[in-house]
Structure 1
Amino acid sequence: MLKMQIAIIADIHGNALALKAFFSEIAKRKDIDHIYCLGDMIDIGPDSNEVLHMLFSRNDISMITGNHDEAILTLAKGQEYPKSHSNVKEHHQWLLDRMDKSFIPKIEQLPRTIKQDLEGHSILFIHYQIKNGKINDPINNDPFSSIVEPSVENLENLFKDNNEDLICFGHHHPIHYFKGNKAIYLNPSSLGCNHKPIARYAIVSVSKEKIEINLEETIYDNSSFLESYHKLQVPERDFILKVFHGNQI
């Protein structure tokens, strides 16, 4: 049975060690045809340059933008910053001040969505559902829908206007894996933000007959990454370490 195998990652959030751990696992497998990254590569963690270098240096990965990537772009380009992100503006500016500016045009050229037909199955890659008529709206117009709690009913309602067989998304950090009447809904969880030293991702095997999904995680030593919040004096570090990393140190 011929099949294609793809890896799905989301919400790296500036965690280079988690991304390295993921790439190490993929290299061991030797059976992954392509990787899809579902946005929010940067913000929260301080490793913007290392993360972006690893991503843009590969030719086997496709990326889309997330709300945090786009919000930081508004600061870089002197555009109107989204009011909905005002609580993290200082943090975004701190990250931008330390970012290699050669990455800015590269991020700017990334799409918001990718649609693929693999082995006869239609697949949507998106950071999160985008409100009707807002697919091309700037981030300051809040095009992304409000987060809904993970359930098949909520996701069927959220993506009711979509007709894809598999919808892959991120943004909300818990794992989502639901088989609805119309589609399979998959969020592999945040690669870079977890209350344990694990990096989560998904492997999707697509053949003409079916779509198979395996939720994966790899353990890695995240101690130096967590310590870097204090060493670098990252803004809002106490809040971030508590909410996004479970106060592991």
Structure 2
Amino acid sequence: MAVLDDIDLRNVDQLYCLGDLVDLAPWSNEVVSLIRERKISCLMGNHDELIAYNLPITTIKDKSAKENEARHQAISHSLNTVSDSNKAFLASLPKHIQLNFESQMVHLTHATPFGIADYVFEDDVQKLKACLAASSSSILAVGHTHLSYIRQFEEGIVINLGSVGRTQEPDAKASYAMLELNQTDVSANIIKIDYPIEETIKGILESSVPDFYAESLKSPSS
């Protein structure tokens, strides 16, 4: 709620969520219900897809055995606890949103235009430009890595919003992006705010979600 409370103070014209509403925490139903109640336009993230369609849980090769075990347990928890109604909502979400403003085309997707679980990092200039080209837009907004950044090129801008609750950045703050457009200018900013992280950690420790996900909040960049 900390991010939404901050956004509510800024009188934004349009609000979009780039996905991953569920998994790795005990509040999946509450998050989905909040998005539905507030009628926030939302994309499907890779975790949303996994839970909506009960996809096979795969082992990630570059993750530790401990993390893979925790991931399997957390996903199983979500599959067993997310309501059928919320799973149906997740299944209905689009994977891309294209916005056509007078002066700019803006493409929104969870990860990259190439895939819902693909990665593009701040220092990978070649792929950032490839993503911009594939998006057929001048502004591309993504998430997935939980690492916020803004990269500007002659071809356009790539914005990674970061994460509202599971950052991989050392400041351990929630982040989102604010985009302002007019006929001649584009202004993009990453906004970072404090949220009750200790309360979040306590909630995970007291739930059936593996403690691994509470521990990772204590040292997000590890």
Please report how far the alpha carbon of residue 217 of structure 1 lies from its aligned counterpart in structure 2 after TM superposition: 1.4
Highest RCO, 1 vs 2 (Cα 8 Å, sep ≥ 6): 1
State whether structure 2 residue 43 is matched by structure 1 residue 64: yes
1:74 pairs with one of 26, 32, 53: 53
Distance 2:60 2:89 in 1: 22
* Paired letter, 1:46: P
State whether structure 2 residue 155 is matched by structure 1 residue 189: no
Q: Could you say if the C-alpha distance between residues 119 and 158 of structure 1 is closer, same or farther in structure 2, counting changes exceeding 3 Å?
A: closer
Distance 1:244 1:221 in 2: 11
State whether structure 2 residue 21 is matched by structure 1 residue 36: no
Query: 2:103 corresponds to which residue?
Result: 120
Please report how far the alpha carbon of residue 129 of structure 1 lies from its aligned counterpart in structure 2 after TM superposition: 1.7
Question: What is the aligned-residue RMSD (CA, Å)?
Answer: 2.3
Query: 2:183 corresponds to which residue?
Result: 208
Specify every segment of 5 or more residues in structure 1 that has no aligned partner in the other structure, as ranges: 1-19, 132-142
State whether structure 2 residue 12 is matched by structure 1 residue 25: no
Q: Could you say if the C-alpha distance between residues 212 and 74 of structure 1 is closer, same or farther in structure 2, counting changes exceeding 3 Å?
A: same
Please report how far the alpha carbon of residue 245 of structure 1 lies from its aligned counterpart in structure 2 after TM superposition: 4.4
Distance 2:198 2:117 in 1: 34
Give the conservation status (yes or no) of the 8 Å contact 1:130–1:145.
no
Query: 1:51 corresponds to which residue?
Result: 31
Distance 1:191 1:200 in 2: 5
Query: 2:174 corresponds to which residue?
Result: 199
* Paired letter, 1:229: I
Query: 1:154 corresponds to which residue?
Result: 127
Specify every segment of 5 or more residues in structure 2 that has no aligned partner in the other structure, as ranges: 62-67
Distance 2:21 2:166 in 1: 11
Query: 2:76 corresponds to which residue?
Result: 93
Give the conservation status (yes or no) of the 8 Å contact 2:117–2:144.
no
State whether structure 2 residue 148 is matched by structure 1 residue 175: yes
Q: Could you say if the C-alpha distance between residues 245 and 186 of structure 1 is closer, same or farther in structure 2, counting changes exceeding 3 Å?
A: farther
* Paired letter, 1:106: F
Please report how far the alpha carbon of residue 84 of structure 1 lies from its aligned counterpart in structure 2 after TM superposition: 5.5
Structure 2 SS opposite 1:160: helix
* Paired letter, 1:209: T
Please report how far the alpha carbon of residue 196 of structure 1 lies from its aligned counterpart in structure 2 after TM superposition: 4.5
Give the conservation status (yes or no) of the 8 Å contact 2:17–2:42.
yes
Distance 2:77 2:30 in 1: 16
Please report how far the alpha carbon of residue 121 of structure 1 lies from its aligned counterpart in structure 2 after TM superposition: 0.8
